[in-house]
Chains A and B, each alone.
Chain A
Amino acid sequence: MDLLCATAVDVSRMVASGEISAREVARFFLDRIQTIDPKIHAFLHVDPDWTLSLADAVDAKRAAGKPLGPLAGVPVALKDILCTKGIPTTCGSKILENFRPPYASTCVEKLLAADAVFVGKANMDEFAMGSSTENSAFGPTANPWDTSRIPGGSSGGSAASIAARMALVAIGSDTGGSIRQPAALCGVVGMKPTYGRVSRYGLVAFASSLDQIGPFAANVRDTARTLSVISGRDERDSTSIDAGVDDYEAALTDVKGLRIGVPKEYFAEGLDSEVESRVREALDVLKGLGAEIVEVTLPHTSYAVATYYIVCTAEASSNLARYDGVHYGYRKTGTPDIIELYSKTREAGFGPEVKRRIMLGTFVLSSGFYDAYYTKGLKVRRLIKQDFDDAFKSVDVIAGPTTPTAAFRMGEKVEDPLSMYLCDIFTISTNLAGIPGISVPCGFTSGGLPVGLQFMGKVLDEKTVLKVAAAYEQATNFPTMPENL
């Protein structure tokens, strides 16, 4: 079998049966990275010795007659925000350039226990702040469908690694759309689970009440399998939810009779007409599969971006206070006193977007402005969550576009932070409400750029979200890898 056309489910079956060794799979994808990644820059760190040692451990386990896990030998890319013990974890920032975590994140441990093989650490916007991966301190990632365009962000390296088949599964984090938006722009599947579904232990913190880890893959079944592996309660993350983990793969059945809500606010001004056409066509496909399409309203949608930039910056300004040039990471040397050590280290160590958000967050939390901004933001957050609670009284799942436009050109929005923020207008609300969301490919623009369709579900109802995504995928089957790369 051609490994470029294989799914993660195929690979794990072949490795478990001995049809191919984990080392052969790892070698294939390492070679692929070496050939393709100079054009894409999806990875910040690739260490063949590390990858091959993980593959050898899987092969040794099989040789010893032990049963293999559900991701046996599957090549996985990890966003460089997940702590890997002894392996560089930079978060796309100069301030963590030489950081080697002394421990591994829970998600990484669970993937290893499932016999996955890590092929590298994926590029990202610095501290996951951005929608284009142009904010990485180590240079941008290109979109595999058109290398003059951005792959989306902040998990742009993870999404691009799947589209270019340098990995079969990738892990990202989603605070306001950072998994779903790049998945849409790179034409792959990406899912943000319910807040608390996946442990955040060992995920470098950006906005703790919004951050959630989730999978990317080329198809829904691989996504579902990976989600089953990484989900679950973790006593090291007190916000992880104490609920059983469903067998998400088993939930992939038909959608007859399912009620799909379509929010009219997601088809408003600013939505590209080609993106709108692809999404409308998708809704027709779902209707053809026996689902019922119902118009719903999420009346506070237009306030989501403003609310998000209060909540996320406030939390970020607190979380990023730890980068002080003392405990780990970069330090500016030659400063006369401790205060200057902090402020000069942070001046040199952080990029412009991170500085902007730290300052905005500090401002909205500062004395005299706290109630007008932060408290106000939290009140509107409740209204946004209430919108979803009301809509889900009459529908099982909500569908709409993932992004207002297809991938834009590199450099197009870097000078205008607000226009970059508006890229996430359709993904931000789910983080504020804590609900799960997925983006699946729904066709292309006339220029050949991928378009994403988003499904959003009730809290802890990943099953329905994956089910509808799988049924749609099966009915359409759009290519998820560019032909000429």
Chain B
Amino acid sequence: MDAATVEYVARLSRVDLSRQELELFSGQLSDILDYIAQLNTLDTTGVEPLAQAVEVVNALREDNPADSLTVEDAVANAPEHVGRFYRVPAVLE
């Protein structure tokens, strides 16, 4: 994975990286991808992908009303909040 790809993926991931991390990760992620490439030696034609090993289908329950988290509890851990609202830098000018 070259530095440009690492930079692109970091942007997609919303993680800023220092120049030093960029170089370090570029080498390490390349090694890992080279290792992963061994999967290409396996013929998987006709094999169905498996996302969940122990499949549970239609997990339904009665729709019983119950108390849920209060607004005070929900915002209590926010780095910054005003009353019932999370506070962030302006999104619209």
Contact = CB atoms under 8 A, between A and B. Distances in A.
Interface of A: 98-100, 102-103, 194-196, 209, 235, 238-242, 300, 302-303, 305-307, 309-310, 317, 321, 324-331, 335-344, 346-347, 350, 352, 355-356, 358-360, 362-363, 366, 373, 375-383, 385, 417-418, 421, 432-435, 459
B74 to A, nearest CB: 7
A360 B29 contact: yes
A196 B17 contact: no
8 closest A-B pairs (Cβ-Cβ)? A434-B53, A378-B49, A328-B77, A331-B79, A382-B50, A238-B59, A347-B16, A379-B44
A375 B90 CA distance: 39
28 contacts: A195-B54, A196-B56, A235-B61, A303-B39, A306-B39, A309-B36, A325-B79, A326-B86, A327-B86, A329-B79, A338-B88, A340-B16, A343-B14, A356-B25, A356-B32, A359-B13, A359-B15, A363-B5, A363-B9, A378-B49, A379-B47, A382-B47, A382-B50, A383-B42, A385-B50, A417-B28, A433-B53, A459-B54
A379 B48 contact: yes
Nearest to B41: A303
A379 B49 contact: yes
Contacts of A328: 77-79
Contacts of A327: 77-78, 86
B91 to A, nearest CB: 5
A430 to B, nearest CB: 9
Interface string B46-84: 011111111010010100000001000110111110000
Contacts of B16: 340, 343-344, 346-347
A331 B80 contact: yes
Nearest to B91: A338
Given A331-B80, A417-B28, A380 B42 contact: yes
A329 B9 contact: no
B50 A378 contact: yes
B21 to A, nearest CB: 7
Contacts of A360: 29, 32-33
Contacts of B24: 352
B28 to A, nearest CB: 6
Nearest to B44: A379
- Interface bin, chain B: 35 or more
Contact of A359 (B6, B54, B56, B86): B6
Contacts, number: 168
A102 B73 contact: yes
Contact of B28 (A238, A326, A356): A356
Contacts of B80: 331
B79 A362 contact: no
A337 B52 CA distance: 38
Contacts of B5: 363
Contacts of B44: 376, 379-380, 383
A352 B16 CA distance: 12
B10 interface: yes
A102 B14 CA distance: 27
A272 B45 CA distance: 36
Nearest to A311: B51
Nearest to B40: A376
Nearest to B52: A209
Nearest to A459: B54
A240 B55 CA distance: 10
A347 B54 contact: no
A126 B16 CA distance: 18
B53 A326 contact: no
